[in-house]
Amino acid sequence: MGIHDDDLDRVRKDSDIVQVISGYTQLKRSGTRFTGLCPFHSERSGSFSVNAADNLYYCFGCQAKGDVITFVREKEGLDFVGAVEWLAQKMGLQLRYTDAGQGKDRQRKAKLSELIGQAADWYHELLLTSPEAAPARAYLRQRGLNGELVRQFKIGWAPDQWDALAKHLRASDKDFTDSGLGLVNRRNRQQDWFRGRILFPIADAQGNPVGFGGRVMPGGEGAKYINSRDSVVYNKSGVLYGLDRAKSDIVNAGEVVICEGYTDVIGYHIAGVPRAVATCGTALTEEHVKLLKKFGSRVVLSFDGDKAGQAAAEKFYAWERTYDLDVRVVDLPEGVDPGDLALSNPKQLAQAVTEARPFLEFRVNRVLKAASIDSVEGRARAAEDALSVLVEHPDALVQDAYALQIADHTQMAPDTIRAMLKRATPRKPGERSTAVGRSGSDATGNNRAVANQPPDAERRGGVVSTLARATRPVPATELEALRLVLHRTDEIAGLVVPELFTEQHLGDIYALITEHRNINRVIELADSESTELLYRLSVESTDADPVDVASLLWGRFLAVEKDKRMRQYHTGTGQDMEALTAELRWFQATKEALREATTKEQTVADLLAWLMSTSEEAG
């Protein structure tokens, strides 16, 4: 799907990037730039810069970079079109789409989301005012959810009637069913999806209403929780309750707390940890992980330890490698609900997040703490059980480090534990420990878990990290020339040529800027190695004298040319000594003229003519 080029250009040029970014971090003017703390990573001193004229930003700390559309995509978790629409709405601009059909799809989703929002308002008002909702209000107060929290999270009440919402909304059958708010029954009448339940409205990452989670009252009929069925706007595998509220704190903290229930999320808010979200009636999915990765890289699991165990281990380790995540687990007292703990001891709940342990460490420690080690047999069983957890991890060095901890806890020799590790296999859910010495090796005698581990470049655990290739250092004078041509093109374009740069890609950047004189166009045309440098240059200014910079570049160029002539002479090119001596004198006199304030500008002009003539001769 596309957006008309004219609309796209207008959004890019007319969006106020300073105003947009100021919604996430405070910016201060610094000369022609704006600077502040980076909204993409935690820092104490500002390394984030904004070029307001070209709507570009760059962070010297984490290398985050882009234009205003990129910023909105990263911070709001949107695709390209969604980010453009987000900005257009801010600007009051009506977009035109190149694909009318897909444009209608987006309008359709917006209409359904608005209908769900109307339902949420109605359900919320019922909870606050309806006599029928009195038991629900009493139950919520009992759970510590007072009126302020009910209003803050817009909790609602669905009356125990078949079609109360349908009569209130009076929507078409298609809108009613496509929104997931209800269905059309066999009598061809609209029927509400939620009845007799406390409702928690669910929004997408941008705050658009998409569905509900409904809790039955104690003693009521049916499942404890039911959620909106998947619809045009709601997909439980890609939605997280509370993300619209939590995303700013997730970005600031670099971590997200993932819960099982809606009241757990509210409990964390009460405890001063507003970066909590909850899955909506489903296990954590890779789609959830991809969404969360846009906001932070540390995932803190806050649900029953057994569920953070073997059944999920393989996918968590895979996500750690694939998405460079740090997966941790909150260690709460057995049977304690985060929502309840938030009321009785909110400091303890917040501290538990601070002290969350790495996923593997939590699982190994849980096994060891539950084991009886007052006998040799008990210590052996504890070691075996812990190793069956440890062997699931794909990194051999991580395995070995934890094996030493297991040896220390069970008072067994490290070599014995290592030997047991080679024979260990992951235990199936519910499987009890058996005799020490189970074989987990394949036909070759190799440990299957170690043999199948990923290449070194994909491993985590502090052994090898996959990092983007850093741009090679650029000589200071060439950097200055690129800053000048980017911000003061006319002042240097007639003094410097691409051939003066030490690397071709730097000369190509210079040539692109002089040709197009539009940084956004140059970024589109440049190769990936050059874009990092271009974003950085876009937020840097310079007070350098263009003639001084050109003189330095020409002086270095002459030195290189002089050395080239000397090498050619020594390799026997046929050049006589007298001609070489005259040429060397010219090089020396020209370099001296470049150093003199009164002659450098004219000398640069002469050198441009000289280079052009020698290039024509060579051609």
C-alpha span between 313 and 403 (Å, rounded): 18
| pLDDT at 614 exceeding the cut of 80 | no
For tokens 């075996």, the residue is 384
What is the average pLDDT across 424-440?
51
C-alpha span between 359 and 300 (Å, rounded): 9
pLDDT at position 433:
46
| pLDDT at 456 exceeding the cut of 70 | no
Say which residue, 209 or 333, is predicted with more confidence.
Answer: 209
Q: Where are the beta strands (DSSP E) in 377-507?
A: none
pLDDT at position 256:
94
Find out whether 475 and 450 touch, Cβ atoms under 8 Å. no
Find out whether 50 and 10 touch, Cβ atoms under 8 Å. no
pLDDT at position 610:
83
Find out whether 254 and 297 touch, Cβ atoms under 8 Å. yes
What is the average pLDDT across 17-26?
88
pLDDT at position 2:
65
| pLDDT at 441 exceeding the cut of 60 | no
**Buried-state track 382-402, b at ≥16 Cβ within 10 A, e below 16:** bbbbbbbbbbbbbbbebbeeb
Burial class of residue 276 in the structure, from the number of CB atoms within 10 Å of its CB (0-12 exposed, 13-18 middle, 19+ buried): buried
| pLDDT at 174 exceeding the cut of 90 | yes
pLDDT tens-place string over residues 381-392: 989 988 988 888
Find out whether 104 and 37 touch, Cβ atoms under 8 Å. no
Instruction: Decide: helix, strand or coil at residue 594.
Output: helix
| pLDDT at 304 exceeding the cut of 80 | no
What is the average pLDDT across 536-562?
88
What is the average pLDDT across 106-128?
93
| pLDDT at 609 exceeding the cut of 60 | yes
pLDDT at position 311:
52
In one-letter notation, the amino acid at residue 615 is S
pLDDT at position 101:
55
pLDDT at position 560:
85
Instruction: Give the pLDDT band (50/70/90) at residue 440.
Output: very low
φ, ψ at 206 (rounded to 5°): -90, 0
pLDDT tens-place string over residues 211-270: 999 999 988 888 889 999 888 899 888 899 999 999 888 888 889 999 988 999 999 999
| pLDDT at 533 exceeding the cut of 50 | yes
Nearest CA to 46 out of 76, 57, 487 is that of: 57
Count the residues in the chain: 619
C-alpha span between 502 and 205 (Å, rounded): 46
C-alpha span between 510 and 489 (Å, rounded): 10
φ, ψ at 93 (rounded to 5°): -100, 130
Instruction: Give the pLDDT band (50/70/90) at residue 587.
Output: confident
| pLDDT at 566 exceeding the cut of 70 | yes
| pLDDT at 539 exceeding the cut of 80 | yes
pLDDT at position 307:
52
Beta bridge partners of 299: 256, 327
Q: What is the mean pLDDT of the chain?
A: 83
Question: Please, what is the end-to-end C-alpha distance for the chain in angstroms?
Answer: 47
Say which residue, 233 or 580, is predicted with more confidence.
Answer: 233
pLDDT at position 567:
76
pLDDT tens-place string over residues 47-85: 899 998 888 999 988 888 999 998 988 887 777 888 888
Say which residue, 73 or 163, is predicted with more confidence.
Answer: 163
φ, ψ at 598 (rounded to 5°): -85, -15
pLDDT at position 431:
53
Residues 600, 504, 480, CA angle at the centre, nearest 5°? 45
pLDDT at position 458:
33
For tokens 């049977």, the residue is 335
Distance, C-alpha 180 to centroid of its chain: 30
pLDDT at position 541:
82
Query: Tokens representing 25?
Result: 């971090």
Half-sphere exposure of 349 (CA within 13 A, CB side): 27
Number of H helices, E strands in the chain: 28, 17
pLDDT at position 352:
93
**Contacts of residue 332, Cβ cutoff 8 Å, sequence gap at least 6:** 302, 338, 341, 349, 352
C-alpha span between 566 and 577 (Å, rounded): 10
Half-sphere exposure of 563 (CA within 13 A, CB side): 5
What is the average pLDDT across 558-585?
75
| pLDDT at 121 exceeding the cut of 80 | yes
Per cent of the chain over pLDDT 90 is 31
The alpha-helical segments, DSSP class H, found in 161-221 are 164-169, 173-178
Distance, C-alpha 442 to centroid of its chain: 40
| pLDDT at 378 exceeding the cut of 70 | yes
**Range scoring the smallest mean pLDDT among 156-165, 319-328, 433-442, 609-618:** 433-442
Q: Whole-prediction pTM value?
A: 0.64
